[in-house]
Amino acid sequence: MKVVVGLSGGVDSAVAALRLRREGHELQGLFMANWAEDDSYCTIADDYQDARAVCRELDIPLHRVDFAEEYRQRVFDYFLTEYRAGRTPNPDVLCNREIKFGVCLEHVRRLGGERFATGHYARRIEGADGVELHKAIDLDKDQSYFLHALELPQLQAALFPLGDSRKAEVRAEARAAGLPVYDKPDSTGICFIGERPFREFLAQYVIENPGPIETAEGERIGTHRGLAFYTLGQRGGLEIGGRRGHEEAPWYVARKDLARNALVVVQGHDHPLMQTHWVKTGPMHWLIDPPSAPFDATVKLRYRQPDQPCRVEPQADAGMELRFESPQRAVTPGQFAVLYRGTRCLGGAVIESL
């Protein structure tokens, strides 16, 4: 099979390529440069050299493509729009749908590739009724949350060679094969933007709009920089300090009052104002036939959260109302609610309201 593997310069995509090479596929590597190399936080140059070194070791050709313009138009503009609206988006979901399995998959086709492989920890399974997306065996590394927005044809074209493996096994395999990136640290930055001080980065694009920091009772106890710079459940960076008449306990962001440009904070990790019993989503993206009747499932309201049992109730506007068995802490509009039945990902949607 003619396969193109997306190489990031990291160990996961390198081992994905190694396995495909050993399976005898006609293999090519593809490195995507999706962000301008404009500062010290951008690692694209180093990552490209690492990808080249892996391809030399595996004796496969490497192509380099630049999707920076598409990334800004399809992902980064959305990212900024959501932050300016006081929400907290997850750009990695859109990056997978619009870039990696969007314009990049189109380029893979132009290269003659039948399938596009990545180093994602997820499983693509051929079910009785077609292709299915499932969690990886290594639940600590599972990335199906970030892949839930793929269209079924995109998923059909994908290969995830690491889905049945654990991260420790992948590193050991890379070391045994002599891959030069076997001990390279995992990237934890936002998509292709890199690992940098986030507030400093966001301030380049979002104008500060100071307003009051208030308690749940309406007492003003500080001033915020702008609602875009805070997220629900946040503890650090509030610059409140000790306040007369209040306990010596941490403050947490509980609400954003957009109409008044006020940030509402509370003391106590599990304060009632931070608990949510239900949420409303935007239009659902389904990886199954869209259900018309309520049903039970589990949901992740953010990446790495353990699955939470919920009742899913379809709405007339194509969204869902999710009611939880147990109250959920710091649920954040703009993030994605992703549904599962066992290991199978059913689809997901943006959280709109609490």
DSSP string, 104-158: HHHHHHHTT-SEEE---SEEEEEETTEEEEEE-S-TTT--HHHHTT--HHHHHTE
Give the Å distances, CA to CA, from 11 to 62, 133, 135, 143, 179.
16, 23, 20, 16, 8
Q: Is 95 a catalytic residue?
A: yes
Rounded Cα distance, 6 and 139, in Å = 22
> Cβ distance 229 to 238 under 8 Å?
no
Q: Is 345 a catalytic residue?
A: no
**Orientation angle between helical segments 44-58 and 11-22, nearest 10 degrees:** 20
Active-site residue, from 95, 104, 310, 345: 95
Active-site residue, from 42, 55, 104, 191: 191
Buried b (16+ CB within 10 A) or exposed e, 173-209: bbeebebbbbebeebeebbbbbeeeeeebbeeebeee
> Cβ distance 65 to 8 under 8 Å?
no
**Catalytic annotation, residues:** 95, 191
